[in-house]
Amino acid sequence: MGFWWRPLATLSVIALFALLLGAGGGESLALKFAVLALLGYLVRQLWQENRLARWLEQGADRPAPSDIGVWGDIFYRLEKLQKRQSESQSELISALARFQHATEAVPDGIVILNEQDQIAWCNPASRKLLGLDSQRDRGQFVRYLLRQSDFVDFLNARDYSRQLNINSPANRDIKLMLQLVPFGAEQKLLMARDITELERVDAMRRDFVANVSHELRTPLTVVGGFVETLNDMDKPADADLRHYFGIMLNHTRRMQRLLDDLLTLSRLESSVNAVADEQVYMPELMRELAREGESLSRGKHTVRLEIDSQDWLSGSLQELQSAFSNLVSNAVRYTQEGGELTLRWFVRDGQPVFAVTDTGEGIASEHIPRLTERFYRVDRSRSRETGGTGLGLAIVKHILTRHGARLDIQSTPGKGSTFSAIFPAERLIPSKNEDEKPRLSLVK
Ligand code: ADP
């Protein structure tokens, strides 16, 4: 039941007494009684209000004033409410303290940015990794504190799937991987991870592979040279020996191709330089690639050329030629005799595209995402038979990534495949003149 009935009952009792007194003939006595009783009632209300105000003023953690009736109820309920509130407040404080301890223990730098990219908060690790101070830098625009142009571009791009590797602005010896994670309304978490050790181990692995490949190359060239000489001799001992020399020659050539591909990959991986800014006349490169495909195919396939654009491509001629050759060579190697290869150069939605379509054996969809991994082959023996090293598409992917391009693979088992290198629109250099002569001669 609500509070209203008790004051109403008190007022009713006063009114009843006043009426009884009035009925007994004492009208003025009844009036005096009513006035005095109401005055008394009012004074009591004011006194209780005053107690309540003082209790609230003194900080409500002291016990509430005790009373009977309505005010007793009010004090009791307020005290209960107060207790519940202070309990949830202390829970909140301890949760905050736990969160603070956890973020202090996190080795990664964590910075909360508001919608204008101002620093709202950062953890202690961001001081060591990013040189930020949670007190001093709160409210500052992060781009004024981390001024590397790569970082500013990364921040402005708002591409939350991207990661950026930079040197720490606080210590040049520390390598950082940065990532932006959106949350709430337009807020972001900037995460900075120390990847110095990872990069060191990766560099060691790259150097090891490059050194081993390099060291093996010279002895292999010597052995290969002798085997070739023996194989070419006019009077070999007997047919068996000639057969063995043939096998040895095949294997030394395969190992040489493998070492060449390993060296190409490690050169691409360790290349810190931006990709060369050459202008490649694609129609001429396409004709060169078609000739290469015909010579690899030795007349076993039909090679078609579709040049729908006279435009140029900006990038490294040597790298682009190597990537496209790999795709053409795969199309020849994985297409049975009598099949067809189509090499295309065109512009789609402003993006330049190089594509090779074959009518070969095709690839089941579960293999497609893994094809660019080193040594991943759908059919190991088929790859070896046709002289594959298992590194071709890994090289293609590296070269395309360096050019900001991506590799798209469409394939239907039994029907054939299309491998497309899709470049960003900025790499397209429109031809001004249809009869334009190549501005760069192609390296053979
Ligand atoms: P490999 O030297 O073995 O050809 P790649 O890296 O060039 O190595 O290719 C990886 C694998 O992808 C190949 O082993 C093959 O299974 C598959 N592949 C590549 N290109 C084609 C193609 N055009 N048609 C069918 N399968 C292909």
CATH superfamily of 278-429: Histidine kinase-like ATPase, C-terminal domain (3.30.565.10)
Report the C-alpha gap between 263 and 257 in whole angstroms.
Answer: 10
Ligand 1 geometric centre to CA of 349 (Å): 28
Residue 267 burial (C-beta neighbours within 10 Å; 0-12, 13-18, 19+): middle
Please answer whether residues 341 and 328 qualify as being in contact, where contact means their C-beta atoms are separated by less than 8 angstroms.
yes
355 CA → ligand 1 middle, Å: 15
Q: What is the pLDDT of residues 24-52, one digit of tens each?
A: 877 888 888 889 989 998 998 899 889 88
Q: Which residues contact residue 429 at a Cβ distance below 8 angstroms, ignoring those fewer than 6 apart? A: 279, 311, 312, 313, 314
Residue 443 has a pLDDT of 39
Kindly give the distance from the C-alpha atom of residue 335 to the centroid of ligand 1, in angstroms, as a whole number. Answer: 11
How high is the mean pLDDT in each 10-residue block of the chain (444 residues)?
Answer: 74 88 83 89 89 81 77 85 89 89 90 94 93 93 92 91 92 94 90 95 91 92 89 72 86 92 90 85 96 96 95 95 97 96 96 97 95 93 86 97 96 97 95 58 42
Q: What is the pLDDT of residue 20?
A: 87
- Cα of 309 vs centre of ligand 1, distance in Å, is 28
165 and 176 in contact (C-beta within 8 Å)? Answer: yes
CATH architecture of residue range(s) 106-194: 2-Layer Sandwich (3.30)
DSSP 35-103: HHHHHHHHHHHHHHHHHHHHHHHT-TTSPPPP-SHHHHHHHHHHHHHHHHHHHHHHHHHHHHHHHHHHH
The pocket around ligand 1, CB under 6 angstroms, is made up of 330-331, 334, 358, 360-361, 363, 371, 376-379, 383, 388-394, 417
Q: How far apart are CA 338 and CA 208, in angstroms?
A: 43
CATH code for 199-269?
Answer: 1.10.287.130
Helix-then-strand count for the chain, H and E: 12, 13
Please tell me the distance between residue 252's alpha carbon and the centre of ligand 1 in angstroms: 21
pLDDT given at position 76:
86
- Which ligand 1 atom sits nearest the alpha carbon of residue 383? 3
CA distance from start to end of the chain: 98
What pLDDT does 361 receive? 93
- Ligand 1: centre distance to CA 177 (Å): 32
Nearest of 257, 240, 349, 356 to residue 306 by alpha carbon: 356
pLDDT digits (tens, 9 = 90+) for 278-313: 999 999 999 999 999 999 999 999 999 999 999 999
Angle formed at CA 299 by CA 294 and CA 304, multiple of 5 degrees? 50
Residue 410 Cα distances to 10, 137, 303, 358, angstroms: 89, 50, 19, 11
- What is the rounded CA–CA span in Å between residue 387 and residue 253? 9
126: closest CA among 185, 184, 174? 174
**Which protein residue has the closest C-alpha to ligand 1 atom 7?**
392
| Predicted pLDDT of residue 434 | 54
Are 310 and 432 spatial neighbours (Cβ–Cβ below 8 Å)? Answer: no
Amino acid 179 reads: Q
Which residue's CA is the closest to the ligand 1 atom numbered 4? 388
- C-alpha span between 423 and 347 (Å, rounded): 9
Pairing of strands 340-348, 302-307: parallel
Please report the atom of ligand 1 found closest to the CA of residue 335: 24
Nearest residue (CA) to ligand 1, atom 11: 377
- The answer to whether the beta carbons of residues 134 and 124 sit under 8 Å apart is yes
